[in-house]
Amino acid sequence: DQQVKQNSPSLSVQEGRISILNCDYTNSMFDYFLWYKKYPAEGPTFLISISSIKDKNEDGRFTVFLNKSAKHLSLHIVPSQPGDSAVYFCAASAGNYGQNFVFGPGTRLSVLP
């Protein structure tokens, strides 16, 4: 059973508009979350993270929101740019010493010029 879900396999957005990527998790022990961006045949690159003591974290055009009661997080990209077109993964960990991360299946974002 998937502990981290990204129910939208793909998303298309017009350049300049907002992109909203969603992620749901089932394990209530998860308390640290990350978003990664991945281009084909490359390793994922870290975008932004959030710990469970916060409900929002912002970095430039990227904002992550966490709703612990709903076990839901979202990544907002404003404004979206064509270079943002990639696969986005959310990941979660229980924060234990050396704990591994569980990744969602990813959402492919296409930003249309």
Give the interface with other proteins as residue ranges (CB under 8 A). 6, 9, 32, 34, 36, 41-46, 49, 51, 89, 91, 95-98, 100-106
Other C-beta atoms lying within 10 Å of the C-beta of residue 80: 23
- Written as six digits, the tokens of 10 are 């793909």
Q: How far is the CB of 65 from other proteins (least distance, A)?
A: 18
83 vs 95, which CB is nearer to other proteins?
95
14 vs 96, which CB is nearer to other proteins?
96
- Using CA atoms, how far residue 58 sits from 2, 49, 90, in Å, is 27, 9, 16
Q: How far is the CB of 45 from other proteins (least distance, A)?
A: 7
Distance of alpha carbon 85 from alpha carbon 108, whole angstroms: 7
